[in-house]
Structure 1
Amino acid sequence: MTATARRPWPMPWKMGLGFGLGLVLGLLVHLTAGADAAWVQAFTNWVTTPASRLFLNLIFMLIVPLLFSALVMGIAEMGDIRALGRIGWKTLAYTVVLSSIAVLLGLVLVNLLEPGAGVDPALAQQLLVQNADRSREIVASVDSQPRGMDMLLSIVPSNVVDAASSNASILALMFFAVMFGVGMVMTADAKVATLKRGIEGIFEISMTLIGLVIRLAPYAVFCFMFNLAAIFGFDLLLRLGAYVGVVVLALALHMFGTYSIAVRMVGRSPLKFFRDIQEAAVMAFSTASSNATLPTALRVADQMGLPQKVSRFVLTVGATANQNGTALFEGVTVIFLAQFFGVDLTLGQQFMVMLVCILGGIGTAGVPSGSLPVVALICAMVGVDPIGIGLILGVNHFLDMCRTTLNVSGDLTLATLVAHREMDDVPGEKPVAAPV
Structure 2
Amino acid sequence: METTKRGGIPLYLWMLLGFAAGMGGGLYVNLNGLEVLPWVMDIIQAVGQIFLRLLFMLVLPLLFAALAVGVAEMGDLKSLGRVGFKTLVFTILVSAIAVGIGLGMVNWFRPGDGVDPLLAQQLLAQGAEGASAIVGNAPKSIEAGQFFLDMIPSNVVTAAAENQILPVMVFALIFGIGMVMAKSPATDALQQTLQGLFEVMMKLINLVIKLAPIAIAALMFNLSAVFGWELLLKLGAYAGVAVGAMAIHMFIVYPLLVWIFGGMNPLKFANGVREPFVVAFSTASSNATLPIAIKAAEEKLKLPRRISRFVLTVGATANQNGTALFEGVTVLFLAQFFNIDLNLQQQLVVMLVCILGGIGTAGVPAGSLPVIALILVMVGVPAEGIGLILGVDRFLDMCRTTLNVTGDLVAATVVSRGESDAIVPDDLKLPDVAPAN
Identify the match of residue 171 of structure 1 among 163, 169, 172: 169
The one-letter code matched in structure 2 to 1:250 is V
What is the Cα deviation at residue 315 of structure 1?
5.5
TM (norm. structure 1) is: 0.64
What is the Cα deviation at residue 159 of structure 1?
3.5
The one-letter code matched in structure 2 to 1:416 is L
Q: Does 1:362 align with 2:355?
A: no
Q: Does 1:156 align with 2:146?
A: no
Q: Distance in 2 between matches of 1:115 and 1:162?
A: 34
Q: Which residue does the alignment assign to 2:69?
A: 69
Q: Which residue does the alignment assign to 2:239?
A: 248
Q: Distance in 1 between matches of 2:338 and 2:125?
A: 16
State the superposition RMSD in angstroms.
5.0
Q: Does 1:276 align with 2:285?
A: no
User: Can you list the C-alpha shifts for 1:134-155, whole angstroms capped at 9, x where unaligned?
Assistant: 5699699554433422221233
What is the Cα deviation at residue 73 of structure 1?
1.5
User: Can you list the C-alpha shifts for 1:169-190, whole angstroms capped at 9, x where unaligned?
Assistant: 2332233135315524xxxxxx
Pick which of 395-404 and 66-75 moved more.
395-404
The one-letter code matched in structure 1 to 2:350 is G
Percent sequence identity over aligned pairs: 13
Query: Kindly tell me: are residues 263 and 35 of structure 1, through their superposed partners in 2, closer, same or farther at Cα, counting changes over 3 Å?
Result: farther
Q: Does 1:145 align with 2:138?
A: yes
Q: Which residue does the alignment assign to 1:346?
A: none
Maintained 8 Å contact 1:74/1:311: no
Say which SS state the counterpart of residue 370 (structure 1) adopts. Answer: helix
Maintained 8 Å contact 2:26/2:221: yes
Query: Kindly tell me: are residues 164 and 237 of structure 1, through their superposed partners in 2, closer, same or farther at Cα, counting changes over 3 Å?
Result: same
Q: Which residue does the alignment assign to 1:286?
A: none
User: Can you list the C-alpha shifts for 1:91-139, whole angstroms capped at 9, x where unaligned?
Assistant: 12212322233233334434xxx874xx47xx43343355357569969
What is the Cα deviation at residue 51 of structure 1?
5.7
Query: Kindly tell me: are residues 196 and 410 of structure 1, through their superposed partners in 2, closer, same or farther at Cα, counting changes over 3 Å?
Result: farther
User: Can you list the C-alpha shifts for 1:371-426, whole angstroms capped at 9, x where unaligned?
Assistant: 4665x7xxxxxxxxxxxx79xx8756424886894776655454333233557757
Q: Which residue does the alignment assign to 1:325?
A: 326
What is the Cα deviation at residue 251 of structure 1?
0.2
Query: Kindly tell me: are residues 164 and 321 of structure 1, through their superposed partners in 2, closer, same or farther at Cα, counting changes over 3 Å?
Result: farther
Say which SS state the counterpart of residue 171 (structure 1) adopts. Answer: helix
Query: Kindly tell me: are residues 269 and 73 of structure 1, through their superposed partners in 2, closer, same or farther at Cα, counting changes over 3 Å?
Result: closer
TM (norm. structure 2) is: 0.63
Query: Kindly tell me: are residues 199 and 303 of structure 1, through their superposed partners in 2, closer, same or farther at Cα, counting changes over 3 Å?
Result: farther
Maintained 8 Å contact 2:27/2:225: no
Query: Kindly tell me: are residues 336 and 19 of structure 1, through their superposed partners in 2, closer, same or farther at Cα, counting changes over 3 Å?
Result: closer
Pick which of 129-138 and 60-69 moved more.
129-138
Q: Distance in 1 between matches of 2:322 and 2:151?
A: 12
User: Can you list the C-alpha shifts for 1:41-94, whole angstroms capped at 9, x where unaligned?
Assistant: 465466675366446645654443333222222354884232221111111221
Q: Distance in 1 between matches of 2:336 and 2:42?
A: 39
Q: Distance in 1 between matches of 2:21 and 2:333?
A: 32
Q: Does 1:10 align with 2:3?
A: yes
Pick which of 265-274 and 61-70 moved more.
265-274
How many pairs does the alignment contain?
372
Q: Which residue does the alignment assign to 2:90?
A: 90
Query: Kindly tell me: are residues 45 and 99 of structure 1, through their superposed partners in 2, closer, same or farther at Cα, counting changes over 3 Å?
Result: closer
Say which SS state the counterpart of residue 74 (structure 2) adopts. Answer: helix
TM alignment of 1:204-219, pairs within 5 A: 204-206=195-197, 208-210=199-201, 212-213=203-204, 216=207, 219=210
Q: Which residue does the alignment assign to 1:180?
A: 178
Q: Does 1:398 align with 2:388?
A: yes
